[in-house]
Amino acid sequence: MYLQTFGLREPPFGDAPDPRFACLFAREREILAHVEYEVGAGASSVTLVTGDCGIGKTLLCMLVEADAASRGIRAVRHGADNYALEPVAWIRSLYAGFGLPLPLSADANTRDHLVDGLAAGLGRLTHHASHRFLWILDDAEELSDDEYALVNRILVACEKAEVPFHIVLAGEPVLRERLAGPSAPALAGHIRSRLPMPPLTDEESERYVRHRLHVAGTTQMPFSRLGLRSLRDDGRGNPRRLNTLAHRALERAAERGEQSIGERALGFVVREALPEHALYWVRRYRKALLAAGGVLALAFVVGVAAWFFTGHTAVRPKNLATTPPDVALAKFRDALPVPDVGKVRVWGELLARWQVSSKETSVANAINCDAVIFPGFACVSGRGSLDQLRRFDRPIVLELDDANAKQQVLLVGAGDEDVRLFLGGKYVELTREAFEHVWNGRFYAVFRVDPAMPAKLARGDSGDGLAWALERLPPDPAAAGTTPPASFDRSVETRVLTLQRRFGIAADGVVGPETMFALSSLDNEGPHLARGVP
């Protein structure tokens, strides 16, 4: 370490934000004063703070939290680690942060009950002790659309309970775009102030470096005049970048026995310490790169072998079809994960097979199986038989019976005798006869559809949705060579009835969700059931 070399008590340029090293400039003072004013104003509000990665948002959030506590305001700060929690656990952490007792009843530990209970509890504190409350959400760009809706739900509940509840959203510039888009319009409507954090100026960058060295106890300036200017220029006004360069420069100088860090030394450090330079990856991580290359080569060989020897699947299913039914079902139950975990993994696998990205929807949202998960991607549920579902030739989520806690598995292959299932971590093959002892007949299926498709099509309807359906309906031999009908007439109804009978759907001549799923399954695009299952 370089502490003794430069007479330092502690490292001045650590990675973790430390309020002791805070160097407040005009931008930080303005934001702190603004938040203090908003919280003191009484009415609920939302303040948006944005800036580039490493600009100092987390440290500012820590200062806002400390300043609020010193003024008797109850403040809770959450970051990316908290967003990884389930919504119920996340809300419960707010109870603890604001000093509210957690509800003991299991019925009161649902999402809606917890939100209402939080607002009511804060309302009582406000009424009896005139408390004010501040919720700081750092790394807010990491929130999902569902979590934005939850934040807005909490804010609205507190407003109805007349609680002075204030929120600070801090994140990278992409947060502004997300709040301006269709994903969080309700929450964006509550934003009262939008405060950007621009990069440090050249003068502020030099003051920043000198300030941190002074707090760390230096008795001498380790950087020469040109070295400090080079550090300032290469830091580009970003505190994290300045910390990285200064820390590595001090280390290198101590290793080489140098007492002053000049422009030339900073040039070498820039190439070594900043990821945009190829030398950074080659010199600093050459061993890791070689090791990673070896692992990738080994993984490639193993993947190719699995592809050839397991029927073109990356994971060989555990075959339970050859064991006695009682033993097979016992092993099947043992292989099932915890219900909540299994459901998330099963739906995550289903979305992955459909190549649905996290930007389009979340697993938690898809599990609800709304009629429209997002425009162009729908969900249908119902009851059927394995023979019927096999005709659709799509991976489908199947729900087990009450004795198996209604856990869910993914049907990925079906033959005349066996089925292949994904259990949320592993694949198994089971005889159809054995599986039907634990399946309650309920299924959930997702499919792509024209965004213009209405909830149903019936006689007399027309529009873009009809054109999508006509492209996929079985052709009418009697209408060969004629112009496609402009509306849903008797000929279209006849073709719909033919399709419904083919797939085992209730033949009513109406294009509803199950019929749309059948039409979508006629497309070659999208995932299909595995071949080669007996």
Is this prediction's pTM over 0.85?
no
Q: Is the pLDDT of residue 200 over 90?
A: yes
**Residues in contact with 101: Cβ distance below 8 Å, sequence separation at least 6, in sequence order:** 95, 121
* CA atoms of 162 and 126, how far apart (whole Å): 8
Query: Given a cut of 70, is residue 409 above it in pLDDT?
Result: yes
Is 273's pLDDT higher than 80?
A: no
What per-residue confidence (pLDDT) applies to 243? 92
Q: Is 397 helix (H, G, I), strand (E, B) or coil?
A: strand
How far apart CA 329 and CA 327 sit, in angstroms, is 6
Within 13 Å and on the Cβ side, how many CA atoms surround 313? 20
- Checking if the pLDDT of 310 tops 60, the result is no
Query: Residues 28-34: what's their mean pLDDT?
Result: 90
In the chain, count H helices and then E strands.
Answer: 23, 13
The domains found in the chain, sorted by start residue, are 3-16+201-283 (1.10.8), 26-196 (3.40.50.300), 317-449+519-534 (3.90.70.10), 456-511 (no CATH)
Picking from 69, 70, 63, 74, the residue whose alpha carbon sits closest to that of residue 18 is 63
Residue 248 phi/psi, 5° resolution?
A: -70, -35
Q: What radius of gyration, in Å, describes the C-alpha atoms of the chain? A: 30
Q: Higher confidence at residue 294 or residue 153?
A: 153
Name the average pLDDT for the chain.
87
Q: What confidence tier does 120 reach under pLDDT thresholds 50, 70, 90?
A: very high
Q: What pLDDT, on the 0 to 100 scale, is given for residue 46? A: 92
pLDDT tens readout for residues 126-185: 887 778 899 999 999 999 888 999 999 999 999 999 899 999 999 999 998 888 877 677
**Confidence check: pLDDT of 302 > 70:** no
The number of angstroms, rounded, from the C-alpha of 141 to the middle of its chain's C-alpha atoms is: 10
Cα dihedral across residues 250, 251, 257, 262: positive or negative:
negative
**Mutual angle of helices 202-215 and 225-235, in 10-degree steps:** 110
Q: Which residues contact 472 (CB under 8 A, 6 or more apart)?
A: 519, 520, 522, 523
pLDDT, tens digit (0-9, with 9 covering 90-100), for 361-396: 999 899 999 999 999 999 999 999 999 999 999 999
pLDDT attached to residue 6: 85
Q: What are phi and psi of 78, to 5 degrees?
A: -120, 150
- CB of 44 within 8 A of CB of 105? no
Q: At what angle do helices 225-235 and 239-256 cross, to 10 degrees?
A: 140
- Type of residue numbered 288: A
How would you classify the pairing of strands 418-422 and 318-319? unpaired
Which three-class secondary structure state does DSSP give residue 45?
A: strand
Q: Give the percent of the chain with pLDDT over 90.
A: 43
pLDDT of residue 480: 66
Distance CA 492, CA 380 (A): 23
Contact 382, 442 (CB under 8 A): yes
Whether 281 has a pLDDT exceeding 50, the answer reads: no
Q: Give the number of other CB atoms < 10 A from CB of residue 86.
A: 12
Q: How confident is the model at residue 36 (pLDDT cuts 50, 70, 90)?
A: confident
Per-position DSSP letters for 77-126, written without gaps between them: EE-HHHHTS-HHHHHHHHHHHHTPPPP-SSGGGSHHHHHHHHHHHHHHHH
Query: Who wins on pLDDT, 477 or 264?
Result: 264
Q: Which residues pair with 136 in a beta bridge?
A: 77, 168
- The token pair that represents 461 in the structure block: 């309807």
Q: Determine contact, residues 100/77, Cβ cutoff 8 Å.
A: no
CA distance 345 to 366: 12
